[in-house]
Structure 1
Amino acid sequence: MSSTSSSYKSSKRHELAPSRTAVTIPTIAPVIGNYSHSNTIPSNKSTVYLSGFMGDLPGDGRIISGGIAAQTTQIMRNLKAVLEASGSGLNKLVQRRVFLVDMGDLKTIDRIWGEWVKEPYPVSTCVQVVRLAKEAAKVEIEVVAETN
C-alpha cells in the first residue's frame, strides 16, 4: 500500500480541481452533512466504482480495533489508497454509500469524513443494517469517483 500510495501522492493530476458540478438547492430540505443534492460529471470524464470498504487493516484484513472512529479512519486510508491507484482521489468523489450497524454512529463517521473530504461534496446515502460481512465491522463505505 505505501509504495503505491506514495507514488501517486506526487502526481500533479490529483492537485487539479474536480470538474464535476455539485448542486445543493435551498427549495428542498437542506443537507445535514458533508454531501450535495446532486453531482454532474462532464461527458469527457471517466468514473471508477469502488467496492464497499470496512475498517480492514492492510495485510491480514482484520478489522481495526478501537471502535467506530478507528474503523472510519482506516476506511478513509483505504479509500484514498485505492482511489489514487485508480487515477483518482478523495477530491473527485461523486457518490458515497454508508452502511452502518448503529445510526447513532453517523455523527462520528461524518466528522471524520469531513476531515478527509472537502467541498464540493459527493451525493450520499446512509443505511442502517443489521450486520456487515465481517462481524467486528461497524461501518462500510462505498464510493464512486471521476478519474480524469
Structure 2
Amino acid sequence: MKKIIHTSEAPAAIGPYSQATLVNGTLYISGQIPVDPENGKLIEGIQKETHQVMKNLKAILKAADMDFSNAVKASIFLKSMDDFAEVNEIYASYFENEIYPARETVQVSCLPKNVDVEISMIAFKD
C-alpha cells in the first residue's frame, strides 16, 4: 500500500511530486532544497543551505514516524564539488553513533531555483 507523506514543517513541492511516499515500510523522500518552510524563502550560503536541507529531511522523516537512524540511502547533489567538505561535515552531524546510510555525492550543472545543494533520501522502518 502506498501512502503520501506531507508536512507543513518542510517546503511544499514546487512541481508535480510529493514530499515523500511510504510503501511497505520504505520511505522515498524527494530531493530537498534549502527553502525555509515558514516563509518559502531560499536560504543562502552553503553551510546554512545544508542545515536547512537536513532540517527539511528531518521534518519529513518525523511526519512518517522516522528519524535519521532509519535512513538507508541518500543522494547529494552539489552545484560545486568545492563545497563537498563543508556539506559532508554538516550532513554527518545529523547522524548519531556514526551510523550512516549508503550515499553518493555528485556535482551537477544546475539545481532547482539555482541552489547549491539538494539531498534526497530513502528510509526504512519495519
* Shorter-normalised TM range: 0.7 to 0.9
1:96 corresponds to: 74
SS of the counterpart of 2:32? coil
For this pair of structures, how many residues does the alignment match?
Answer: 106
Distance, in Å, in 1 between the alignment partners of 2:77 and 2:100 is: 18
Question: How far apart, CA to CA, are the structure 2 residues paired with 1:55 and 1:117?
Answer: 19
Q: Does the alignment pair 1:49 with 2:28?
A: yes
Matched residue, 1:61: 40
- Taking structure 1 as the reference length, the TM-score comes to 0.66
Contact 1:92–1:147, Cα closer than 8 Å, also in 2: yes
Aligned to 2:101: 122
Following superposition, the deviation at residue 84 of structure 1 comes to 0.7
What are structure 1's unaligned runs of at least 5 residues? 6-44
Could you give the per-residue CA deviations for residues 53-86 of structure 1, whole angstroms, max 9, x where no partner exists? 0111113432112x10000000111110100101
Q: Say yes or no: does 1:80 pair with 2:65.
A: no
- Comparing both structures, which one devotes a greater share of its residues to strand? 2
TM-score normalized by the length of structure 2: 0.77
Instruction: Report sequence identity in percent.
Output: 35
**CA RMSD of the aligned region, Å?**
2.0
Distance in 2 separating the partners of 1:72 and 1:92: 20
